[in-house]
Chains A and B, each alone.
Chain A
């Protein structure tokens, strides 16, 4: 059927073809003339908004998208200008960025690292996006941040709470405005001590993945520093929907506080199970049983409904804050979309403005210029009061909120009440703190 003999001529022929094949790719190495990846040459500049539009965090993602569109409007001088009027830096004129009109493309991360990277890559390679913003999960944030570092564009993280994003996975081209698990612990601990006393026994249920572990580690460390005792820490699979079998042992463990290191649908389900078991009506060790949810969001609060009443947690930002930046943002968001923004929406809005402002101040879109302008940048007027973008790890430092599920909500959006605004100084930490050590920012990469 086939002729399998090897001839001298055949070998020579195939050798020549293989040689040509190996030599061929060298024509690709010719570098283009641009100074950096996706240098905008026309009259407009493209930003990429990469948010989960399907999957478990789709609601958060769509809220982020609304805020990002609002930010683009404000940058282009449409609408009421929002936070441009309250922002302490006055570089932005409402005429786009560096005189170029802002356009945007959107993508769906599906809350999967792979899909998020594919979508970010298509924005960079196809649409010429010069900055990627958004996301609602730490896994995605770390994955996309790594990609942006390699491709030579700026990544302005959306909602990502794990310590690793600006810890062991930090990158020079990536910036995080959102707070992190360590800050949650540092902000929550004093409030917990004041509300529940210093002699408590805590039981942790933790979502079994990276974010859950860093949060558990942070909360255990800060509560043990208060004098609390950690009875047990139990990992729950991320895909669980019924937590009854995890809640039952809590009752007999001798614990009097349950800490739920869960997020999104997980948290809604585990909290509901805990309430069904009547944990909050129990008395253990002579004290009222309490539940703590270290990371809250408006959307989770809405999902958990009645069950959330009286439960303590922390947040990056809340629309009920009374500073000028918050009021301006909530006003324009509310007028446009008829509801208050969530804290993930706020972080994406602020990140987009911060990026635009950094370009203006640097006078270029070159990522290295932007990095320099953002590092150790002090600003105010975007919500949360005076804020500092630390140069050492690209993490923002600002006040952190401790919130409680509202006992008597007056409307559908009034589910959380602010218990305390923890001042920035209390949540600051050393960049080489053990929970964050091991990373390396590296050099800014302009690509090309």
Chain B
């Protein structure tokens, strides 16, 4: 279907089902129960899952295929956000021009940075991209936000003010980001017994866009172009010796992944019309590297899983505090309760970085292929058990292949 082989089609269908049914999947616990703390099915986090999924898919096209490790991808995310908010300020709150411009601007910006950075490879390339990203951050944070020429509004973040021109904003159009009148914030809450599920317009817009770009990523992975990029990763020198110029390929991959990042940035601004400079900081660039490695570099679905994993920890674990712990362990005797809370305390709330760090180490050490490898191993084990059971009665030895 759609020019994909059977395996990829089923992968695409699985991703589509997961994203479309996310409001159900992410809210498995009834409202008001003690486990509701672990529910992640509220609009903001669901939006973040798919937006950072898009960001990581794009990053994986560069890092997973060519092996070029960019430490500056957050710059494109930030540029995308800024251009989207400027569209809100100048044209109207409709998200279509905003998202379109964010992709274009990020593309142009990544062409410039890629053209310079790709003159080097390996660690030098990483350092160059990092330097460019930090430069963009400093520009956005202070240089381009002085009162005379205020492009980014500095620390406060670029936002829409009542006296902005908004020349295309209709009289009746909602006063917040919308898609032809449908506000991104609009949420329909479905109550089923003790459960409640949120269906958010903004989330579904992001989800549809993610499915489109995921499909695009599959096509890139399977195309001759994708094969060239893999060749760059395995041995660029040999490729050059055979007379092929690999630079246009790497530059194209860089620009494509920059545009993915810009798209993610534009969507972020469309969901929440504010663009802050921290989006461009090196920590944000590092985060997408972590997401990709955690999920599985070079795999299709890995980066999406990694993005979800990290965002889940950032938003759910950081909100567990001692009070919540005490309520969980209230059934224990007083002294024991305090002891358990004391033991868990460093890993929750502000300690979520610690928990994430430990998990990241475990994944990198025991599952070098990321979460995807974990899934495959689990699947293989299940399959083997099944085939063992089938094979047992026959008692014949068969050659493996």
Q: Is the CB of B156 within 8 A of A169?
A: yes
CA distance A160 to B29 in the complex (A): 38
**Residues of A contacting B319 with CB < 8 Å?**
105-108, 119, 122-123, 127
B182/A26 in contact, CB under 8 A = yes
**If A25-B201, A28-B199, A238-B141 touch, does A121 touch B272 (CB 8 Å cutoff)?**
yes
The residue that A125 contacts in the complex, of B43, B153, B276, B321, with Cβ under 8 A, is: B43
B186 at the interface (CB under 8 A from A): yes
Asked if A246 is at the interface of the complex by the 8 Å CB criterion, the answer is no
From 196 to 210 in chain A, residues with beta carbon under 8 angstroms from any chain B beta carbon are: 208-210
The docked-state distance in angstroms from the alpha carbon of A54 to that of B351 is: 9
Contact (Cβ within 8 A) B278 A114:
yes
Complex contact B182–A25 (CB within 8 A): yes
Assess A108 versus B156: contact at CB under 8 Å? Given A143-B274, A238-B142.
no
Residue from A25, A32, A213 whose CB has the most chain B CB atoms within 10 Å? A25
Give the residue of A28, A53, A137 whose beta carbon is less than 8 angstroms from that of B182. A28
B104 neighbours in A (Cβ, 8 Å): none
A2-B3, A143-B156 known; A119 vs B349 contact (CB < 8 Å): no
Q: Are A54 and B350 in contact (CB under 8 A)?
A: yes
Whether the pair B188, A125 counts as a contact (CB closer than 8 A) is no
Q: Is A29 located at the chain interface by the 8 A CB criterion?
A: yes
Within 8 A of B (CB), among A1-51: 1-3, 21, 24-30, 32
With A26-B182, A107-B319, A169-B156 already in contact, the answer to whether A125 and B198 are too (CB < 8 A) is yes
B154 & A209 in contact (Cβ 8 Å cutoff): yes
| A213-B147 Cα distance, complex, nearest whole Å | 9
B44 touches A122 (CB 8 A): yes
A53-B349 contact given A2-B3, A125-B43, A440-B162, CB 8 Å threshold: yes
B48 CB within 8 Å of chain A: yes
**Complex Cα–Cα for A125 and B40 (A):** 10
Q: Residue-by-residue, is B133-176 near A (CB-CB < 8 Å gives 1, otherwise 0)?
A: 00000100110010100000111110101110000000000001
Determine whether B127 belongs to the interface, using a CB cutoff of 8 Å to chain A: no
- Closest-by-CB residue of A relative to B200 is A28
Whether, in the assembled complex, A113 has its beta carbon less than 8 Å from a beta carbon of chain B, the answer is: yes
Give Cα A32 to B187, complex, Å. 9
Contacts of B155 in A (CB 8 A): 113, 137-139, 209-211, 238
Interface pair B147/A142, CB less than 8 Å apart:
no
Interface residues on B, range: 35 or more
Most buried by B among A2, A113, A123, A147: A113
Q: How far is the CB of A283 from chain B (nearest CB, A)?
A: 35
CA of A211 to CA of B153, assembled, Å: 12
A118 and B179 contacting across the interface, CB-CB below 8 Å: no
- Across the interface, do B141 and A108 meet the contact criterion of CB distance under 8 Å? no
Alpha-carbon separation in the docked complex, A151 to B273 (Å):
12
Q: Assuming the A-B contacts A107-B319, A146-B159, are A28 and B201 also in contact, with contact meaning beta carbons closer than 8 angstroms in the complex? A: yes
Bound together, the chains give a CA A142 to CA B321 distance in angstroms of: 25
B185 CB–A CB distance under 8 Å:
yes
- Determine whether B234 belongs to the interface, using a CB cutoff of 8 Å to chain A: no
A113–B278 CB distance below 8 A = yes
Q: Which residue of A lies closest to B187 (CB)?
A: A28
- Tell me, rounded to whole Å, the shortest Cβ–Cβ distance linking A109 to chain B: 10
- Any A CB within 8 A of the CB of B208: yes
Does A91 have its Cβ within 8 Å of any Cβ on chain B? no
Chain B min CB distance to A395 (Å): 17
B230 contacts across to A, CB distance below 8 A:
none
Q: Identify which of A112, A146, A235 contacts B142 (C-beta below 8 A).
A: A235
Distance in Å from the Cβ of B78 to the closest Cβ of chain A?
10
Cα of A123 to Cα of B43 in the assembled complex, Å: 11
B200: A residues at CB distance < 8 A: 28
Closest residue of B by beta carbon distance from A52: B350
The answer to the question of B42 belonging to the interface, with a C-beta cut-off of 8 Å to chain A, is: yes
A 214-230 to B, binary, CB cutoff 8 A, 1 in contact else 0: 00000000000000000
CA distance A25 to B205 in the complex (A): 9
Contacts A107-B318, A143-B274 given; does A114 touch B162 at CB 8 Å: no
Q: Does A434 contact B (CB under 8 A)?
A: no
Q: Is A442 interfacial (CB 8 A cutoff)?
A: yes
Chain B residue nearest to A120 in the complex (CB): B44
Q: Point out the residues of chain B lying under 8 angstroms from A138, CB to CB.
A: 155-156
Residues of B within 8 A of A237 (CB): 138, 142
Q: Name the CB-closest residue of A to B146.
A: A213
Please tell me if the beta carbons of B349 and A440 are within 8 angstroms of each other in the complex. no
User: Is B43's CB under 8 angstroms from A112's CB?
Assistant: no
B residues near A428, Cβ cutoff 8 Å: none
Known: A21-B208, A122-B45, A125-B44. A113 touches B349 (CB 8 A): no
| Bound-state Cα–Cα, A24 to B323, Å | 41
CB pair B353–A54 under 8 Å, yes or no, is yes
Interface: B39 (CB within 8 A):
yes
Q: Is A150 an interface residue (CB 8 A)?
A: yes
Q: A262 to chain B: which residues have CB within 8 Å? A: none
Does B189 count as interface, using CB distance less than 8 angstroms? Answer: yes
Interface pair B42/A125, CB less than 8 Å apart: yes
Chain A residues positioned under 8 Å from B352 (CB to CB): 108
Q: If A108-B349, A126-B39, A138-B155 touch, does A113 touch B315 (CB 8 Å cutoff)?
A: no
In the bound complex, residues from chain A placing their C-beta under 8 Å from that of B147 are 213
Judge whether A150 and B176 touch: CB under 8 Å. Answer: yes
Contact A1 B350, beta carbon cutoff 8 Å: no
Q: Mark A246-260, 1 if CB is under 8 A from B, else 0.
A: 000000000000000
Residues of B107-135 whose CB lies within 8 A of A: none
The smallest C-beta distance from A394 to any residue of chain B, in angstroms, reads: 16
B186 and A29 form a contact (CB under 8 A) = yes
A58 within 8 A of B: yes
Query: Nearest Cβ in chain B — how far from A130, in angstroms?
Result: 16
- Contact across chains for A139 and B272 when beta carbons are under 8 A apart: no
Interface flag for A117 (CB, 8 Å): yes
- Residues in A whose Cβ lies below 8 Å from that of B233: none
- Is B249 located at the chain interface by the 8 A CB criterion? no
- Cα A27 to Cα B190 with chains together (Å): 11
Residue A164 lies at the interface, judged by CB distance under 8 Å to chain B = yes
18 contacts between A and B (CB under 8 A): A24-B204, A32-B189, A53-B349, A54-B350, A108-B318, A108-B319, A108-B350, A119-B319, A125-B43, A125-B44, A125-B187, A127-B319, A143-B276, A147-B274, A150-B185, A208-B142, A209-B155, A210-B154
Q: What residues of chain B have their CB less than 8 Å away from a CB belonging to chain A?
A: 3, 39, 42-45, 48, 138, 141-142, 145, 147, 153-157, 159, 161-163, 176, 179, 182-183, 185-189, 198-201, 204, 208, 272, 274, 276, 278-279, 314-315, 318-319, 321, 323, 349-350, 352-353
Q: Can you add 20 more A-B contacts, CB < 8 Å, to A30-B188, A53-B318, A122-B319? A: A25-B182, A29-B186, A54-B350, A106-B321, A107-B318, A108-B318, A114-B279, A117-B272, A118-B44, A119-B315, A121-B43, A122-B42, A122-B315, A126-B39, A126-B45, A139-B157, A147-B272, A210-B153, A237-B142, A238-B142
Give the 4 A-B residue pairs with the shortest CB-CB distance, closest first: A2-B3, A53-B350, A113-B276, A139-B155
